[in-house]
Amino acid sequence: MQHLTIQNHQIPTLGLGTYSINGMECTDAVSNALDQGYRLIDTAQMYGNEAEVGAGIKASPTEREHVFLTTKVLTENFTKRNFIPSVEDSLRKLKLDYVDLLLLHWPDSDEANKLALDLLLECQNKGYTRLVGVSNFTIRMLEYAEEHAPIICNQVEYHPYLSQQKMLEYLGEHNMFLTAYRPLLKGAITTDKTLTQLAQKHSRTQGQIVLRWLMQQPNVAAIPKAASATHRANNLNIFDFELSEDDMQTIFALNKDQRFVTPSWSPDWDK
């Protein structure tokens, strides 16, 4: 498994996203992913599957110290009363003493974000998490966040149809990394002619081409969702080939500034 070295920490670059995987399917997916060689698992309070993720980790013979686990705090818990108890509840559900990375899932108002960042740092000081970060923050929000906590990453939507060049430049300059969610274009990769041509050229799937493209970028990790063991295995089978610089630029040129994740509470991405 490939790793990033960020702020003297080793971060696996390819993980399993568990959004909308629930029940025993989730437990089996996590356990099987770890058995296949995954070392990064991503969950969230919002997903309602932390207990199942924790059970999957317990079911695998992989030692806890070799699993990099991320969870995220719901925006509605960005209060003095709710924040730390919600994290303690996440740990109870996971049946773990700590997570490796604790994120603010979506930004709220500047005032609420400041409070949440202070409480995020408090969770780190309590040993509830090794590292802290944010998700879906704009660059302006990141600048503010860095003043309040030792942020190590920003988890955002990133794929060939959505350029994150400015964000990547900012994160690189500040020794942080980007975790790409929804990296496989919500399935649109299978009908993309350019990606299909590259897949044929390298005797790979379109998904493997996109994930390899992400892995060859500095300071980038990715957490594709994969409910089936076959898809998980395919996603992991990307470390024995390389894309040329021309291939990389061809994929970068697919940008359409297209977002697939656009909830009503999204921030203004241009600010």
Annotated catalytic residue 98: no
| Tokens standing for residue 252 | 């970068």
Classify strands 177-181 and 3-6 as parallel, antiparallel or unpaired. Answer: unpaired
Locate the domains of the chain by residue range: 3-184+217-240
Model confidence at 1: pLDDT above 90: no
Model confidence at 158: pLDDT above 80: yes
Model confidence at 222: pLDDT above 80: yes
What is the reported pLDDT for 35? 97
Name all contacts of 125-128 with Cβ < 8 Å and 24+ positions apart.
126/84, 127/97, 127/98, 128/87, 128/88, 128/91, 128/98, 128/99, 128/102
> CA of 265: how far to CAs of 120, 138, 180, 268, in Å?
21, 13, 19, 9
What is the reported pLDDT for 150? 97
DSSP per-residue string spanning 5-38? EETTEEEESBEEE-TT--HHHHHHHHHHHHHHT-
What is the reported pLDDT for 18? 98
The CA R_g of the chain, rounded to the nearest whole Å, is 18
Counting residues of the chain whose pLDDT is more than 90, the rounded percentage is 97
- Give the single-character DSSP code of 191: G
Nearest to 124 by CA among 104, 108, 106, 140: 104
Selecting among 38, 47, 128, 158, the annotated active-site residue is 47
In angstroms, rounded to a whole number, what is the distance separating the alpha carbons of residues 139 and 153? 12
Classify strands 9-12 and 3-6 as parallel, antiparallel or unpaired. Answer: antiparallel
Classify strands 129-135 and 40-42 as parallel, antiparallel or unpaired. Answer: unpaired
Q: Supply the mean pLDDT for the chain.
A: 97
Counting residues of the chain whose pLDDT is more than 70, the rounded percentage is 100
- Mean predicted confidence (pLDDT) in 86-111: 98
The shares of helix, strand and coil residues in the chain, as percent rounded to the nearest 5, are 45, 20, 35
What is the reported pLDDT for 205? 97
Give per-residue pLDDT as tens, 118-155.
Answer: 999 999 999 999 999 999 999 999 999 999 999 999 99
Under 8 Å between Cβ of 115 and 106? no
Give per-residue pLDDT as tens, 165-204.
Answer: 999 999 999 999 999 999 998 888 999 999 999 999 999 9
Name the CA dihedral angle for 118, 123, 126, 131, rounded to a multiple of 10 degrees: -110
In angstroms, rounded to a whole number, what is the distance separating the alpha carbons of residues 220 and 66? 20
What is the reported pLDDT for 68? 98
What is the reported pLDDT for 83? 98
What is the reported pLDDT for 42? 98
What is the reported pLDDT for 43? 98
- The b-or-e profile of 257-269 (16+ CB within 10 A means b, else e) is eeeeeeeeeeeee
Could you report how far apart the first and last alpha carbons of the chain are, in Å?
Answer: 36
pTM value surpassing 0.95: yes
- pLDDT interval class at 30 (50, 70, 90): very high
In angstroms, rounded to a whole number, what is the distance separating the alpha carbons of residues 220 and 178? 5
Give per-residue pLDDT as tens, 36-60.
Answer: 999 999 999 999 999 999 999 999 9
| Tokens standing for residue 207 | 């998904």
- Mean predicted confidence (pLDDT) in 73-99: 98
In angstroms, rounded to a whole number, what is the distance separating the alpha carbons of residues 204 and 214? 15
Identify the bridge partners of residue 221 per DSSP, sorted by sequence position.
179
CATH no., domain 3-184+217-240: 3.20.20.100
- Mean predicted confidence (pLDDT) in 228-251: 97
In angstroms, rounded to a whole number, what is the distance separating the alpha carbons of residues 99 and 155? 16
What is the reported pLDDT for 270? 84
